[in-house]
Amino acid sequence: MAQFERLLAEHAALRTAAQRLLSVTETEAGYRAVAPGLLREIVDLLVDHEASESSIDYAPHDEHAGAALPLSERLFALQMEWGDFVDAWPTMNVARDWPGFSVAARVILPKLIEVIDAEDKLLARMPHQQSGAATAR
């Protein structure tokens, strides 16, 4: 699979997992069945995705894409916030403080989805989308 298609597939998997976890946070007992597994799935997907995306340079194609900050700055801020989120919510804390986790997840997951959507928009504008070759950093 070409790098472009792989990135889009990874984005789709991340978006789906984030949306599923977001919907689980709306239930009282959601954590017991699926929340920790979904959180682990997102973490694993992000680790794999970071490796795939490391050779892509969005900057030349990012004209703020309608946002106040360039994607690189939003991505960096999200990485820092995501690290803090994951550190704060190991499985036992999710179970212990479901309402707190739900609130925190409802703050960060939409940001993750927003960045994924912005990356998809930039990928669509990049020249490699036609040929399947990626623009290296």
pLDDT digits (tens, 9 = 90+) for 68-83: 456 777 788 898 999 9
Cα(31)–Cα(117) distance, rounded to whole angstroms? 26
The DSSP line for the chain is --HHHHHHHHHHHHHHHHHHHHHHTTSSSHHHHTHHHHHHHHHHHHHHHHHHHTT---GGG-SGGGSSS-HHHHHHHHHHHHHHHHHH--HHHHHHTHHHHHHHHHHHHHHHHHHHHHHHHHHHHSTHHHHSPPPP-
Convert the pLDDT of each residue in 81-109 to its tens digit. Answer: 999 999 999 988 888 898 999 999 999 99
pLDDT at 73: 78
Cα(79)–Cα(133) distance, rounded to whole angstroms? 26
Convert the pLDDT of each residue in 15-67 to its tens digit. Answer: 999 999 999 998 876 666 689 999 999 999 998 887 766 666 555 555 545 55
The answer to whether 14 touches 97, Cβ cutoff 8 Å, is no
Looking at every residue in the chain, the average pLDDT score rounds to: 80
Cα(50)–Cα(7) distance, rounded to whole angstroms? 10
pLDDT at 132: 44
pTM of the model: 0.79
Cα dihedral 5, 125, 80, 113 sign: negative
Q: 133 pLDDT band (50/70/90 cuts)? A: very low
Cα(42)–Cα(116) distance, rounded to whole angstroms? 13
